[in-house]
Structure 1
Amino acid sequence: MRQSYDGLPERFYAPPELTPVADARLVHLNRPLAAELGLDADWLAGPEGLAMLSASHMPPGVRPLALAYAGHQFGHFVSRLGDGRALLLGDVRDSHGHEREIQIKGSGRTAFSRRGDGRAALGPVLREYLLSESMAALGVPTTRALAALRTGETVMREKPLPGGMIVRAAASHIRVGTFQYFAARQDVAGLRLLADFAMARHAPDAARAEHPYLAFLESVVAAQAALVARWMLIGFIHGVMNTDNMAVSGETIDYGPCAFMDQYDPATVFSFIDEHGRYAYTNQPSIALWNLTRLAEALLPLLSEDEDRAVEHSQQALAGFHTRFHDAYFAGMRAKLGLEGEAEQDETLFHTLLQTMQATQSDFTNTFRALSHDAVLEGATPADWPQPVAEAFAPWLAQWRQRLAQGGQAAPHDRAARMRSVNPCYIPRNHLVEAMIAAAIEHDDDAPFREMLAVLANPYEHQPGRDRYAAPPTPDERVRYTYCGT
């Protein structure tokens, strides 16, 4: 395992003092991912591997680092954050030839910990593992979970909780906040080194452009526009879109109070700390652009020596966000609804569907899945829709079928199969995630975690006997708040 980040100056990171845990035990090791990363899963599960994964002892050549960054947290800038509970172990080259970083979360105090203990509770660890692997199975760019561990220790939060760690892989852990860290210090040399490092890793073609740093910014804008469109299309709510939680790689990172919508409501918020709905579902595209604007501000000294010209470059890059987002989102909606080609009425069709879903309190995931059945495409009403809902949807269904007829002569069976390939049957239902966490914490029972992980690994195919994983919560099962905690 190489450590390429230590090729940057020491002000980019801090070496930690390892704090061994009491009794590290694997909850789950992602053996397929280990193989993809070129890692020996049997060694990782053994004493030496477990010592490394728990940040208790490092094998020769592994030099962990805590990375420096800043960030806007709920709109308020903090000039020094950094990895207060995480360690970057280093890089590996995966089976596709891509560089991937391995990081431990919950590894103990670092120079960036401030008043925190640097540890993580088991519940948020299992949530991140499950959610990130679900996102990967859904085809959304994301960090991946390599391992989840119990530490044999107790962490104090609102109450004593069992400790845990998650080991994850990412294209990199460079954030918008990493650029803000150097910009806040007016460290243009550091900013340039960081930009060159990130460009070489994530946008190598940008280095050959006429304006390399502008091309790099444009690549990050494009990646984030596509990513947030994917979130919106599956009803995912990140929960804490701070600038220190936005990776310039375009991967979903830092799963805290994240969740998937059940009933469709654009104002849905789950995070307990998001009192004013800053990071509500419907706000995610505008917040992504807000974050990207902060990145553009940080990069101004690199975009041009002339300040006016630098601002012009940044505005040019940011102006592309809305077009890229809407193109990705509308293309995704057409695929979800089985539409071929483009038509002038498509946007109205999409809005009307969502308005009807909101008015009828329809489940986001199950509505699209219901539309993906052969019989519905042939003219039937979804069998599980109660009469009031069916009546409310009838006008929209008529418009949708007229639009389907305009777009080609695909057989209903073939069209339905294509729709099912983008409309999942299974998402991590919040009430089931919470029940899984409760079983692990209160009863030391990891079986619900493993079963749910297996179901979510194949989200687009119906799995006999697993209907409860597709069912929305009953009123008394609904989860209204989720919490940070890793």
Structure 2
Amino acid sequence: MKFYNSYIELGAQFFQRVSPDKVPNPQLLLWNNVLADDLSITPALQNDHELLAKYGSGNELPNGVNSIALAYSGHQFGHFNPNLGDGRAHLLGEMLDKKGIRRDIQLKGSGQTVFSRRGDGKCALAPALREYMMSEALYALGVPTSRCLSVVGTGELINRGLAKPGAVVTRVAASHIRVGSFQYFAARGDIDSLTALLDYTIERHFPEIDDSSLNNADADSTKISNQKPSQEQRILQFLEKAIDKQITLITQWLRIGFIHGVMNTDNTAISGETIDFGPCAMMGTYDNKASFSSIDEYGRYAFGNQGKIGQWNMAKLADCLLVLLNDTAEKDADNNIEDEVNQEKTLESIEAIIQQYTSKFDQAYYAMYAKKLGISDIGENHITLINDLLSLMQTQKLDYTQTFDSLTKSLSDSVKEKALVAEFGRWYKTWMDTLNQLSITKPEAEALMSKSNPLVIPRNHHIEELLDRCELIVTDNMNSNTSNNPIVSDIVNDFLQVICSPYKELTNTKYYQEAPQDKDQYYQTFCGT
């Protein structure tokens, strides 16, 4: 395991140097072989479960690790907190995957840091398992996401109202740079650090911005080397690309019925990956206002609000970048032009990009739903078709995943087609007429829909059942001082085998397709801290 530590080079103001807490009895509960192989972790190390437990708990750190807790701010449910940071996480460093892409390796639930505030820095077993299972499910569903390398039981009980077994999860992410990372320095007026963070983020996630050969593909090749983008151009391009990442992410959430539950700016990764799975949930019965998070009292982050919140979060990133743009404008201002004029122009540039979010999101949103209906190119008349279907699903309280799966199968199953004609009436005929008008055959539509509409999702009641079973096993093991930990991995891996093949019917797929009897009417998720 070769570690790099590029974030440390930014300076001490970006983090706290701190080691993970030691735990009494680390036990490897889950290990992600596929992800480990992608990170080129040797078979010898993968087979050494005792050493992996030490690494995954923080009791022992691999060579080359420089453990740090990152500093950041954040808007939490609309309220700004300037001092957040990693209160229960330790960034060990970065590893290169087989494609040469730099990936952060972070322990979560690994003890207190200077950012813990009143928290204990620990993680209970259930939230650690939830993040592992949900992130793997999202990855298989084709959603940009961080992933988990391991879950290690710590052998200790932590207080969450009741005594719960503790765990540490190892998270692998494109990076842990958040909107809140930019807010941290913007709030302090620290232009130098804000500039350094921008440069680092562009180099890591959007190198094409500074690649003049890509920016000037049509230019005279002899002039390319002299055509570097200005700082203002870099900042505006960065914002546009960050917005595009968020739109892609959120429309993919909506495609599968995922509700993040806590879309604070400190949980919004610049990389465009899903990060922080605390109170997340999956929507069963279609409801635009579906919200299960116990801490989202007013439904701010409900299913149908996620697109708008994405724009709100990007506006907060824009506020940070405006600080840099204004600083750039002041430095570059012509002596004959007042600073106010330059600042007004930069504000207009930023506002224009943020305002474009709505049209960009709507285009991506309807293109996504069009594919769920077998239509590759979206037109104005198709928007009505989509909206009418969602309205029917809302009114009739239909299951989101099952409905789109049935629509997909109805194209080759006359029994299902007859049932849906009876259920949807005129809408189904309009859909068929639309496909005919576009010269899209049923097999062609079904092939496209099969890639967008999963057969199975990680349903809330299945996740909770698994978490309860695993928690009971680990608690019994702790109380009896025995080790049946492989049972935990067997339980979870049986589930993951199905969930990680969401577009292919396996022998056990049918066991995880049914909707809950109460339609998640009283279901709630919790943050886990």
Does the CA contact (< 8 Å) of 2:411 and 2:417 recur in 1?
no
1:331 offset after TM fit, Å? 1.6
Does the CA contact (< 8 Å) of 1:272 and 1:483 recur in 2?
yes
- 1:180 aligned to which of 180, 183, 187: 183
Distance 1:324 1:381, change over 3 A: farther
For 1:371 and 1:296, the matched residues in 2 are separated by: 41
Distance 1:78 1:409, change over 3 A: closer
1:378 offset after TM fit, Å? 5.6
- 2:306 aligned to which of 266, 279, 284: 284
**Equivalent residues in 2 for 1:320-469 (5 A)?**
320-373=356-409, 376-377=410-411, 380=414, 382=416, 391-410=422-441, 412-444=442-474, 446=488, 447-469=490-512
* 1:91 matched to 2:94: yes
Deviations 1:70-116 (A, max 9, x none): 00001110000000000111111111121111111001011111111
Residue correspondences, number: 480
1:406 offset after TM fit, Å? 1.2
For 2:267 and 2:199, the matched residues in 1 are separated by: 21
- 1:19 aligned to which of 14, 18, 21: 21
1:442 offset after TM fit, Å? 1.8
For 2:321 and 2:408, the matched residues in 1 are separated by: 45
Distance 1:8 1:203, change over 3 A: same
For 1:340 and 1:217, the matched residues in 2 are separated by: 28
Distance 1:248 1:470, change over 3 A: same
1:59 offset after TM fit, Å? 2.9
1:2 offset after TM fit, Å? 0.9
1:477 offset after TM fit, Å? 6.5
68-77 or 17-26: which moved more?
17-26
Letter in 1 for 2:416: P
* 1:214 matched to 2:250: no
Aligned to 2:219: none
Deviations 1:170-213 (A, max 9, x none): 11000000000001111011100011111100111223534111
Deviations 1:240-259 (A, max 9, x none): 00000000001111111101
Structure whose alpha-carbon radius of gyration is higher: 2
Runs of 4+ in 1 over 4 A off after TM superposition: 476-479
SS in 2 for 1:120: coil
For 2:363 and 2:185, the matched residues in 1 are separated by: 33
For 1:85 and 1:6, the matched residues in 2 are separated by: 19
Letter in 2 for 1:382: K
Does the CA contact (< 8 Å) of 1:100 and 1:171 recur in 2?
yes
Aligned to 2:349: 313
* 1:168 matched to 2:171: yes
Deviations 1:278-311 (A, max 9, x none): 0001110111100110000011122242432331
Deviations 1:411-439 (A, max 9, x none): x2343233112110111000000000000
**Which runs of 5 or more residues in structure 1 are unaligned?**
none
Distance 1:64 1:17, change over 3 A: closer
CA RMSD across the alignment: 1.8
Letter in 1 for 2:272: G
Aligned to 1:232: 254
Does the CA contact (< 8 Å) of 1:176 and 1:247 recur in 2?
yes
Letter in 1 for 2:229: A
For 1:463 and 1:479, the matched residues in 2 are separated by: 30
Does the CA contact (< 8 Å) of 2:284 and 2:520 recur in 1?
no
Distance 1:319 1:391, change over 3 A: same
Does the CA contact (< 8 Å) of 1:261 and 1:364 recur in 2?
yes
1:401 offset after TM fit, Å? 0.4
Does the CA contact (< 8 Å) of 1:301 and 1:310 recur in 2?
no
Does the CA contact (< 8 Å) of 1:48 and 1:59 recur in 2?
no
Letter in 1 for 2:94: D
Letter in 2 for 1:67: L
* 1:268 matched to 2:290: yes
Letter in 1 for 2:468: A
1:392 offset after TM fit, Å? 4.2
Deviations 1:408-467 (A, max 9, x none): 243x23432331121101110000000000001123352332211111111001122331
For 2:291 and 2:11, the matched residues in 1 are separated by: 40
Deviations 1:354-405 (A, max 9, x none): 01111111100110011111xx2268462796xxx86441111011000010
Aligned to 1:118: 121
1:43 offset after TM fit, Å? 1.4
Aligned to 2:335: none
Deviations 1:110-133 (A, max 9, x none): 111111110100001111111111
Distance 1:51 1:27, change over 3 A: same
1:52 offset after TM fit, Å? 2.0
280-289 or 326-335: which moved more?
326-335
1:313 offset after TM fit, Å? 2.2
SS in 2 for 1:103: strand
For 1:313 and 1:335, the matched residues in 2 are separated by: 33
- 2:36 aligned to which of 31, 34, 37: 34
For 1:254 and 1:369, the matched residues in 2 are separated by: 28
Letter in 1 for 2:175: S
Deviations 1:223-243 (A, max 9, x none): 101111111111110000000
Letter in 1 for 2:78: G
Q: TM-score, normalised by structure 2?
A: 0.87
Distance 1:395 1:40, change over 3 A: same
